[in-house]
Structure 1
Amino acid sequence: MRTHLIRKNLVAMGLIAAFAAAPLAQAAAQESMSKDSTNQTVPDKAADAWITAKVKSEFATTKGVDATDISVSTNDGVVTLSGHVGSAAEKTKAEQVARAVKGVKSVDTSGLTLSAGDD
């Protein structure tokens, strides 16, 4: 009878320990995942490189956008345009062209400046 009681207690303690460890393991997994989300994965970087190349090629074939004066970079689907444009209309056109590329989440044109003497 005493052996049976000890065995029940050991099983109960084992279950308690297992259930107590589960939340700790889950918390550790969530922390690990949150750290990984701040770093881009290889597929994300490849997608960003493709978006950058596609935006540049669209600029090269679009009338009213001087592709040689606009730099393009992409991070997590956010396209950043910088450089010089000849007019506000060119800046707007560049933003529209970039925004139309598949995979683009948003476009930042704050780095585009109007060339001196132009509107």
Structure 2
Amino acid sequence: MNRIGTYLSAIVLAAALLTSVGCSSTPRQEGTGEYIDDSVVTSKVKVAIFGDPMLKSAEINVETFKGVVQLSGFVSSRAAANRATEVARGVAGVTSVKNDMRVK
């Protein structure tokens, strides 16, 4: 019985290690937890941008990867682009903001 318990423990440990490695992140791919965190950050940034009176009519796309927010799309002025960047930086969980917005 003791040998069977040892083998069973080894199999369970190996399965656990393989599962945890499959969910880990790499420099180009997020882990499961990071993906969920980034989804929350993206949602918070979108809400903050839409809630700002200066940016309500702007066509701004928001993407997040490992806490880095990328803003793209179109705004009416350079001031609106700068405001969107400021708003995004103010959201919890944002480590930096890349501004790829274009002025119409």
Count residues in correspondence.
81
SS of the counterpart of 1:101? coil
Question: AA paired with 1:112?
Answer: M
More helix by share: 1
Contact 1:64-1:90 within 8 A present in 2 as well: yes
SS of the residue 2:52 aligns to:
coil
Distance change (3 Å), C-alpha of 1:99 and 1:93? same
- Extract structure 1 runs of 4+ deviating beyond 3 A: none
Q: Does 1:103 align with 2:84?
A: no
User: What's the C-alpha RMSD, in Å, of the aligned pairs?
Assistant: 1.8
- The normalised TM-score by structure 1 is 0.63
Distance in 2 (CA, whole Å) between partners of 1:85 and 1:68 is 5
**Structure 1, residues 42-67: CA drift from partner, whole Å, max 9, x if none?**
11000100000000011111110136
Q: 1:66 and 1:114 mapped to 2: Cα distance?
A: 15
Instruction: Give the SS at the match of 1:102.
Output: coil
Instruction: State whether structure 2 residue 58 is matched by structure 1 residue 53.
Output: no
Cα deviation 1:3-35 (Å, max 9, x = unaligned): xxxxxxxxxxxxxxxxxxxxxxxxxxxxx8xx9
User: Percent of aligned positions with the same letter in both sequences?
Assistant: 32
